[in-house]
């Protein structure tokens, strides 16, 4: 039987906030301050609406809030770094005032946005292009010494061996991060479910997440309401929370340590139960 590795990491940030991996599954709640995200576009563009949603997630037990200022749904329209920054900075400021110890991740592939967010008090960078889109991104995360999530992506869904190619791509981005001076302890991996992968490739990678776990870094899984779940269940995004939970439970059993979700309340309970069964294998 496969025994997952739950890598222990502890981070203390300049503002006094802290985060520990390896003791239980961490819940990352999604906050899209965008007009066009596939599931919740337009709902949290106003700072007061975003803050209300953050308060709800905090009450439900969120560990990290991931703020996105640009939709990355398939076929999205790119925006400038300045526009992205103008969307996220007021939200970061408001969250820092009301929830000063809350861990904030910024979903961006632009170095300028990452630096502005880190200067404003964000803690983690979540790069859907695995440090490959912006040549300055590796330098920025190394400069600030922040945890970075390397999300697998490609320009096209062309693979010889899907899971092996994903692992190889991720390790190339790990090398970019370490060569820039980022400590290996600050690197997290994301298999990039839904990015440059068709339906069968998504299922193939998901079924072999344990191979990414074996690369030696904490793994984040972000499948919430994604197309492969909607396609499997033949349901709309608003109706697939149970499918998201099933996906994440399977991920946790294969060593995923952070799950990125829209529905914190339901996933928190599912993770607590899964952890009670899976984490006991470590002792």
* Residue 225 domain-assigned (yes or no): yes
* Residue 3 domain-assigned (yes or no): no
* Residue 4 domain-assigned (yes or no): no
Model pLDDT, residue 3: 86
Model pLDDT, residue 2: 77
Q: How far, in whole angstroms, is CA 250 from its chain's centroid?
A: 17
* Structural domain count, the chain: 1
Residue 219 maps to which CATH number?
Answer: 3.20.20.20
Residue 168 lies in domain: 9-282
Model pLDDT, residue 41: 47
Distance in angstroms (rounded) separating the CA atoms of residues 51 and 102: 12
Helices 111-119 and 137-144 meet at what angle, rounded to 10? Answer: 20
Residues known to be catalytic: 226, 260
Distance in angstroms (rounded) separating the CA atoms of residues 262 and 277: 24
Residue spans of the chain under pLDDT 70: 1, 36-45, 73-76, 281-283
Model pLDDT, residue 240: 95
* Residue 2 domain-assigned (yes or no): no
> Could you tell me the two tokens for 46?
């106003």
DSSP 8-state class, residue 100: T
* Residue 48 domain-assigned (yes or no): yes
Give the pTM.
0.94
How many alpha carbons lie under 13 Å from residue 250 in its C-beta half-sphere? 15
Model pLDDT, residue 226: 96
């Amino acid at each position: 039987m496969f025994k997952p590795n739950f890598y222990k990491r502890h981070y203390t940030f300049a503002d006094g906030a802290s985060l520990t991996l390896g003791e239980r599954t961490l819940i990352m709640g999604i906050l899209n301050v965008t007009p066009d995200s596939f599931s919740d576009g337009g709902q949290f563009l106003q700072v007061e609406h975003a803050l209300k949603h953050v308060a709800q997630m905090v009450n439900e037990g969120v560990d990290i809030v991931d703020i996105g200022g640009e939709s990355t749904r398939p076929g999205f329209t790119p925006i400038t770094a300045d526009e992205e920054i103008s969307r996220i900075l007021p939200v970061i400021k408001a969250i820092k005032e009301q929830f000063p110890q809350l861990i904030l991740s910024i979903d961006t592939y632009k170095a300028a946005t990452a630096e502005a967010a880190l200067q404003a008090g964000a803690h983690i960078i979540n790069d859907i292009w695995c440090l490959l889109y912006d040549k300055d991104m590796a330098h920025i995360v190394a400069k600030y010494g922040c945890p970075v999530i390397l999300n697998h992506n490609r320009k096209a869904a062309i693979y010889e061996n899907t899971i092996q190619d994903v692992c190889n791509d991720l390790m190339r981005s790990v090398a970019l991060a370490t060569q820039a001076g980022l400590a290996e302890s600050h690197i997290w991996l994301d298999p990039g479910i839904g990015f440059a992968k068709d339906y069968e490739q998504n299922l193939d990678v998901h079924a072999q997440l344990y191979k990414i776990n074996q690369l030696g870094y904490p793994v984040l899984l972000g499948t919430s309401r994604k197309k492969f779940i909607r396609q499997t269940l033949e349901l709309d995004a608003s109706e697939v929370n149970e499918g998201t939970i099933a996906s994440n439970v399977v991920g946790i059993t294969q060593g995923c340590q952070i799950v990125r979700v829209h529905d914190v309340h339901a996933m928190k309970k599912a993770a607590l139960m899964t952890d009670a069964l899976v984490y006991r294998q470590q002792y």
